[in-house]
Amino acid sequence: MSSVSQYFKGLFQGIGGLLTGMSVTWTELFTKKITQQYPENRKTLVISDRFRGELVMPHDANNEHACTSCGICQMNCPNGTIVIKSKTIETEDGKKKKILDEYYYNLGSCTFCNLCVLTCPSDAIKFDNTFESSVFTRGKLNMKLNQLGSKLREKKKPEPKPVAEKPAAVETAPAAPKPAAAPASVETEKKENITSQDSADSATSDNVTKE
């Protein structure tokens, strides 16, 4: 192959590659944009509920939580992220009870493995989808999850089951009296009379034959 033909072959291959690249560029130029500009879209940004951003302890309107200070989440945390401090109080019944005093969570060492949430028997903690966790000092990553003055939510006692009323007895009409059976002695006498009559008839017939 001559050098001239090789030159034009390479020229056409270069022009073809250029047109292919330009076609991709023009296609993407008119395609709908899906890239989101953060933090300009902070108000409209939607984070999935499955995103694990930060461990939280939900409190209700009465500032009560569900943590019983059992320590299972602390034992299952592989990094020692959770530290629970409990205390013992005396109830109105005179019994001693262990309650939660302080619940510490270190966001800086958390791997978001979710083992603490899965093993919690009271569903007292969960992962929030908060993702803006940047702070200026490392100490601010160590958080206290139980609020000031919060207490354990008392479990509601099960309500007694309603007693089922017994169905009222249905009044039935009295059964009609059955006709009294004939006394057996009468029937026996009838049978004996019939038998004696038959024997008398047979005796009479024998006498007639002899005569």
pLDDT in tens, 13-22: 999 999 999 9
126-128/151-152 β-pairing:
unpaired
Confidence of residue 201 (pLDDT cuts 50, 70, 90): low
Q: Give DSSP secondary structure letters for 155-178.
A: PPPPPPPPPPPPPPPPP-PPPPPP
pLDDT in tens, 77-124: 999 999 999 999 988 888 898 999 999 999 999 999 999 999 999 999
Q: Where do runs of H (alpha helix) occur along the chain? A: 3-29, 72-76, 115-119, 184-210
Whether the predicted model's global pTM rises above the 0.75 cut = no
84: closest CA among 106, 102, 60?
102
Judged by phi (left if over 0) then psi (alpha if -120 to 50, else beta), residue 72 lies in alpha
Alpha carbons 195 and 199: distance in angstroms, whole number: 6
